[in-house]
Amino acid sequence: MGYQALYRVWRPQRFDEIVGQKIITQTLKNALITQRISHAYLFTGPRGTGKTSAAKIFSKAVNCRNLKDGEPCNNCATCLAINEGSLNDVIEIDAASNNGVEEIRDIRDKAKYAPTQADYKVYIIDEVHMLSTGAFNALLKTLEEPPTNVIFILATTEPHKIPATIISRTQRFDFKRIKFSEILQRMEFILKEKQVQYDELALKVIAKAAEGGMRDALSILDQATSYGDGKVTYDNALMVTGSVTKKFLVDYFKQIQLKDTKEALLTVKKLLNDGKDPQRFIEDLTSYCQDILLYNQAPEMIEEEDLGMFDDDFKDLAQSISEDFIYQAIDIINETSQSMRFTDHPDVYLEVLTVKLTHLNKVEATNLSSASVDNSVIEQLENQVNELKQALETLQKKSNTISETPKPKPQKTTSKQHVKINLSGIYGVLDQATRKDLNYFINLWPELMNSLSVTQRALMHVSKPVAASDDGIIVAFDYSFLYQKVNDDIELMDALQNGLDRLTNRVPKIIFVPEDQWPAIRKQYLSNKQPNKEASGVESAPKSDIVAEAENLFGSEILEIKND
């Protein structure tokens, strides 16, 4: 066989070789040792963090006859066949190109048959979020009633696109971005094994550019090795990644700090003439601003994270630039980055960015030392402070003779805004709504809230069910701006549906509504339709004139009064 890329040659063959995912690999090994094997797993996380590698290792381990401490032996016939990709009982599918209903139905039909060579038949479905809605429905049926000795391992970089009903029937493992230091150690190990010469600073540039992905790091390392004729040098790493030197960034920031537009533009011109990627330069600028802020707040954190990459020039620059200047610079850089994604002339945007940065209005771009301030200025400021103090004392004396004006009570809800409300969905729930269903979900609500993350609970703490049927819930929000926020929050909706699925074994649809508009919506529904049963907890029996008048005055909500 010809040359193979580094990430293929050095792909992990054991759980212990997977970098940066210790908790996940230990959990999977424990499951294998104790024989607590689930029928379906979901591996999520950024690209190049070990999802597919972990799936292949798990498929070996679950079928290995010489399993030791949860690790496959990689020597038996089954392990060797899986490594070669020749075992028929381990099937790897790319959902990006096999995302139709027919493909998944074919899997479902074949999954019924027992494995031919191994103990378990394992289906590894990569990029599972690419499946169509029909394909997900076909897969759901199999996950609900899994055949014996069949394991599904789903891998994806976008878990929010997977239906909640699928997620709730799997064991989910979230793979994290790999730390800078761990990527660096792995590259050093590989190069020492291959006996390749390298510059340590070059590996740091590559590890930084990989952005937490081991596969990306090894691909860049492969390029740098080829470019350097078997050596990995600092210049080659910069050339391959499109990055610039730290000195280049320091010079550019100093020119901006001094508002030297001409020199800064010449620096940008040199960057483009050297063939550097403008988008990569924007990312380097953003990262550099972040490093400056972190260094000013916690120097030990940035030095530990980047393993001493920053020299005295960086430290001097970080101490001389104010935080306000960095905040403004980050905003401008971010706007430019967004615009550059949709243009064929990034050099123009880079030059405009440079002009903007050198013309920032804030005077405090540079921190002034106390020694450079004129003593007369200090004296003048002290006099102004004393005058303000005297004026404040006079105002306080006058305020004692004036009665305090009572403050108006803050309104519970904000002013009405143009918000979209799913009236057809609300009416559909009200058609089947009963007081029994409403009481059931009201009692269930606290437990459902506890299953959410802290951020999600913060959004939902002013919500409550106001009507419910067997397959739908109407949830009212005290504040309209929160209603708008949660209405577009796909991850929150997934979490709510997952929680309901776990607590009730079904997934009723959830419809949000602003509380200040809920009475009018309910009244309109009742007036449009002659009620013949309980709807949203309101009894439909004939009302006397007194009851009707009371409802007009106080509303028809049933309240529970508790004495202190």
Distance CA 38, CA 134 (A): 24
Shared domain for 122 and 237, answered yes or no, is no
Asked if the structure places residue 261 within a domain, the reply is no
Asked if residue 441 and residue 550 are part of one domain, the reply reads yes
In this predicted structure, the answer to whether residue 57 has a pLDDT above a threshold of 90 is yes
| pLDDT at position 30 | 92
Residues 166 and 233 in one domain: no
Confidence of residue 388 (pLDDT cuts 50, 70, 90): low
Instruction: Quickly state the pLDDT bin for 306 (edges 50, 70, 90).
Output: low
- Domain assignment of residue 59, yes or no: yes
Question: How far is the C-alpha of 229 from the C-alpha of 45, rounded, in Å?
Answer: 34
Q: Are residues 169 and 184 in the same domain?
A: no
Residue 153 · residue 125 · CB < 8 Å: yes
Say how far residue 291 (Cα) sits from the centre of its chain. Answer: 21
Q: What is the mean pLDDT of residues 323-347?
A: 84
Residue 126 has pLDDT above 50, yes or no: yes
How far is residue 357's CA from residue 347's CA, in Å, rounded to a whole number?
A: 15
| Same-domain status, 449 and 527 | yes
The answer to the question of residue 266 being in a domain is no
CA angle 258, 260, 265 (to 5 degrees): 135
Give the helix ranges, DSSP H, for 363-516: 375-399, 423-432, 435-450, 454-460, 480-487, 490-504
Q: How many residues does the chain have?
A: 564
Pick 116 or 554 by higher pLDDT.
116
Residue 155, φ and ψ in degrees, nearest 5? -125, 140
303 residue type, one letter: E
Average pLDDT over residues 43-62: 91
Domain boundary among 364, 383, 399: 364
Q: Residue range 193-203: average pLDDT? A: 86
Q: What is the pLDDT of residue 554?
A: 45
Strand partners, 174: 44
Contact (Cβ atoms closer than 8 angstroms) between residue 20 and residue 217: no
CA–CA separation, 264 vs 269, rounded Å?
9
What total of structural domains would you count in the chain? 4
Residue 27: inside a domain: yes
Do 214 and 183 touch, CB atoms closer than 8 A? Answer: yes
Q: What is the pLDDT of residues 238-292, one digit of tens each?
A: 888 877 777 788 888 888 888 888 888 998 888 888 878 888 888 888 888 888 8
Q: Model confidence at 564, in pLDDT bands (50, 70, 90)?
A: very low
Mean pLDDT, all residues of the chain:
79
Structure tokens at 362: 């804030």
Q: Is residue 471 part of a domain?
A: yes
Instruction: Output the pLDDT for position 27.
Output: 92
Question: Is residue 370, in this structure, part of any structural domain at all?
Answer: no
One domain, residues 16 and 145? yes
Nearest to 181 by CA among 219, 212, 138: 212
Residues facing 39 on adjacent strands: none
Residue 373's pLDDT band, with cuts at 50, 70 and 90, is very low
170, 186: one domain:
no
pTM for the whole structure: 0.57
Q: Is the pLDDT of residue 532 over 50?
A: no
Instruction: Give me the CATH number covering residue 203.
Output: 1.10.8.60
Predicted local confidence at residue 418, as pLDDT: 52
Q: Which amino acid is at 188?
A: E
**Residue 1 lies inside a defined structural domain of this protein:** no
Mean pLDDT of 452-478: 84
**Which of 274, 263, 265 is CA-nearest to residue 350?**
265
CATH of the domain at 508: 3.30.300.180
| 405 has pLDDT over 60 | no
Average pLDDT of the segment spanning 400-405? 49
Q: Are residues 12 and 46 in the same domain?
A: yes
164 in the same domain as 22: yes
Residues 84 and 15 in one domain: yes
Q: Do the beta carbons of residue 94 and residue 124 sit within 8 Å? A: no
Q: Is the pLDDT of residue 367 over 60?
A: no
Which CATH number belongs to the domain containing residue 125 in this structure?
Answer: 3.40.50.300
Q: Are residues 170 and 185 in the same domain?
A: no
| Structural domain includes residue 62 | yes
Question: Within 10 Å of residue 70's Cβ, how many Cβ atoms?
Answer: 20
Domain end point (choices 327, 349, 364):
364
The span from the CA of 210 to the CA of 183, in Å, is 9
Q: Which position has the token pair 């798990």? A: 58
The residue out of 174, 192, 220 marking a domain boundary is: 174
Q: Give mean pLDDT, residues 132-145.
A: 85
Q: Is 288 found in the same domain as 197?
A: no
For residue 449, the enclosing domain spans: 423-554
